[in-house]
Structure 1
């Protein structure tokens, strides 16, 4: 057994990203020429881990990959990123998760994921990492792995007086359980994901603040709403909801921005 005290532990997903760069998103039934193609290592869970590691935090990932070449290479890549993989499991007779991503010239994207081995991540996997989990400073989650596993892990951490928990509510899922909002310490979503939960269309700062207020009413201790070019809205009570505008920057790809927000927060707190 290796190190047990990590700054950040992620319970989450690993995906192989197949990325097509195109002038625009094709219409239904349309074929268009792309500009470039790349294969990369992604998944919202792994993205959180990589972001944390690059910001200087010691990190560990509790996850499952397939027993294909993609999965074996993924474990090597995680190690190359200085991420502890002691509890990242190769799953027999299952393919690794994959994401088909189309990115336009102006940075918009659309994504289709096939979860593969990520669907096999269970609470028993988490229990094997009990010491790592409870001795960390923060535990991060997303919704690309079974929701039951996330809920049981949040309950376990709460019962045992464990570390701070962050849930990135992505992707939006039809079977979302509001129990998650009450169990985690911080819940972070974008406009689409928040709308699916609070049943309110988010168009501007005013409706964004209303959505954050609704999330707090549903049980959130701290809610964060990312709104792209319109900035971020966050709050820990209906009387304390704030908006932070963004500065215009050129970015390579917007997919991991929520994760960078979460891990940046943790690392900044660590250094205070």
Structure 2
């Protein structure tokens, strides 16, 4: 059965608002045969500079799929801040609430990608750490009018919590990077989306296979969110809702080139498809989002790997009730 909560919001898709509050960062990415061990120096094969940050990644993923996307964030008053704002605008993201922060650098992420697609990431927040409740107040009309609000944890937690309290639409929290003590926001979440390690941190349960992920899923559900999704990489995703039992959505096997930002592609696609296809069952919406994430890992880069011409639901996505 379709998830009826999505039918509450009946705006036409083109006027529906996907609002993202979160981080913008510049990705400095090195490619190497494998990931280095502590203290080791490796010769890399390539270096790239690109646009990233979980919030902006998710916003761009939605915009490239045709979503009416709005970004609420802070960038620095350095060279990268203005460039990032222009970059978002060129993709079609509304940047009215992208704030320039004086005497602060734009956030950066230092990424190493191995030949098998694995990655390591070190983040320096910069201006992302200055996104405060005053910015939520400046953006309150936009937040209140959002059909779906997306948040993550690369900006101050209190800021995301305040935005979720104001929002009157669907609220999707991608609780990444993983951290504990976020229980206060979970009752405000329509959807909590985490990967295996994040699920383990929040639930305080080990997650290393479908069985243990199901245990974590049930515990997370008891904390207040209406729908819980645990992404499983190449194994697809696991979810539970108030009207459906734990369900495993499978995805096709692919050979990854670069897995950086795949989770953000999933979140942006899911938000877009929830708004566009209100009558689709949740397992099909999640299957379509998994398909977008899978497509993104077949190319190098983050935002540049996100598809802009993806056609979902050309097939039935496989799922298993647990």
TM bucket, shorter chain: over 0.9
* Structure 2 residue runs without a partner (length 5+): 1-14, 278-322
Quote the offset at 1:7 in angstroms: 2.1
Alpha-carbon distance in structure 2 between the residues aligned to 1:156 and 1:150: 10
Counterpart in the other structure of 1:208: 213
Quote the offset at 1:72 in angstroms: 1.2
For the aligned residue pairs, the C-alpha RMSD in angstroms reads 1.5
SS at structure 1 position matched to 2:88: helix
Quote the offset at 1:199 in angstroms: 1.2
| 1:37-186 equivalence runs, <5 A | 37-157=47-167, 162-174=168-180, 176-186=181-191
> In 2 relative to 1, CA 209–10 (structure 1 residues): closer, same or farther, beyond 3 Å?
same
| 1:191-270 equivalence runs, <5 A | 191-237=196-242, 240-270=245-275
Alpha-carbon distance in structure 2 between the residues aligned to 1:70 and 1:201: 39
Q: Deviation string for 1:224-255 (max 9, x for gaps)? A: 00111222100014961101122112344323
Alpha-carbon distance in structure 2 between the residues aligned to 1:254 and 1:110: 10
Deviates more, 1:92-101 or 1:230-239: 230-239
Deviates more, 1:253-262 or 1:126-135: 253-262
Quote the offset at 1:65 in angstroms: 0.3
Q: Which runs of 4 or more aligned residues in structure 1 lie more than 6 Å from their structure 2 counterparts after TM superposition? A: none
* Structure 1 residue runs without a partner (length 5+): none
> Normalising by the residue count of structure 2, what TM-score does the alignment of the two structures yield?
0.78
Deviates more, 1:229-238 or 1:117-126: 229-238
Alpha-carbon distance in structure 2 between the residues aligned to 1:156 and 1:7: 15
> Normalising by the residue count of structure 1, what TM-score does the alignment of the two structures yield?
0.92
Q: Deviation string for 1:80-117 (max 9, x for gaps)? A: 11111111011001111000001100100110101010
Q: Deviation string for 1:30-84 (max 9, x for gaps)? A: 0010111000000000001100000101111000000110111111111111111
SS at structure 1 position matched to 2:146: coil
Quote the offset at 1:262 in angstroms: 2.5
Alpha-carbon distance in structure 2 between the residues aligned to 1:10 and 1:198: 25
Alpha-carbon distance in structure 2 between the residues aligned to 1:37 and 1:130: 39
